[in-house]
Amino acid sequence: MMVRVPDIPTEGLGVTDAAALGTVYRDPGWRLEDVQLRIERDGLDVFVTGELRATVTQTCGRCLEPLAATAAAAINVRLVPRPATGDTVELFADDLDVDFYEKDEFDLGALIEAETALALPMKPLCREGCLGLCPVCGGNRNVVACACPPRPADPRLAVLKDLAARLPH
């Protein structure tokens, strides 16, 4: 959904209807559940503040099974016109994210998608204590208890130990 900056009224714009935004996420497994945003303008600066909640599909960092996660993000973004090459942008000292817009408009959907992605855990787990994949046979150890021997000692560790032994004590 493109928002034209000159069309933002002085009293600001409220975005509270997730359905009215249409398709926000490129990933069909992601869904915007709730959105409470204010879009305000101060001269050429645009401020987008509020919060959103989305359900997304992620992949467990250990067993690689898909999992449904909830992303809740607080949004505090300042948009400024993209500067001409060589110009610098004066940044505020507070912790607003600064983003750029071009040709008097910005894509609210893209902003929401980026903010949702930032709110996701980097290494999601399908459950506390997920057993992950067996390094030998690749089986999902949450599902099958395979009879593979335990993983041999990491050769990189052996090198370190060897090195430590040769250092003068």
Question: Contact positions toward Zn ion, by CB under 5 A?
Answer: 60, 62-63, 126, 130, 134, 136-137, 139, 146, 148
Closer by beta carbon to Zn ion, 114 or else 125: 125
What is the enclosing helix (H) or strand (E) of 55? strand 45-59
Closer by beta carbon to Zn ion, 66 or else 83: 66
Phi/psi at 71 (5° precision): -110, 125
Between CA 139 and CA 45 the distance in angstroms is: 53
- Which neighbouring-strand residues pair with 42? 45
- Short-list 127, 124, 131, 161, CA closest to 148: 131
Give the shortest CB-28-to-Zn ion separation in angstroms: 22
Give the shortest CB-90-to-Zn ion separation in angstroms: 46
Give the shortest CB-69-to-Zn ion separation in angstroms: 12
Give the shortest CB-125-to-Zn ion separation in angstroms: 6
Q: Name residue, tokens 């290494």.
A: 123
Closer by beta carbon to Zn ion, 60 or else 75: 60
Closer by beta carbon to Zn ion, 4 or else 127: 127
Residues 6 or more apart in contact with residue 28 via CB below 8 angstroms: none
The CA–CA distances, whole Å, from 120 to 14, 22, 69, 98, 168 equal 25, 22, 8, 20, 47
Give the shortest CB-33-to-Zn ion separation in angstroms: 24
Closer by beta carbon to Zn ion, 31 or else 141: 141
- Short-list 3, 72, 95, CA closest to 40: 3
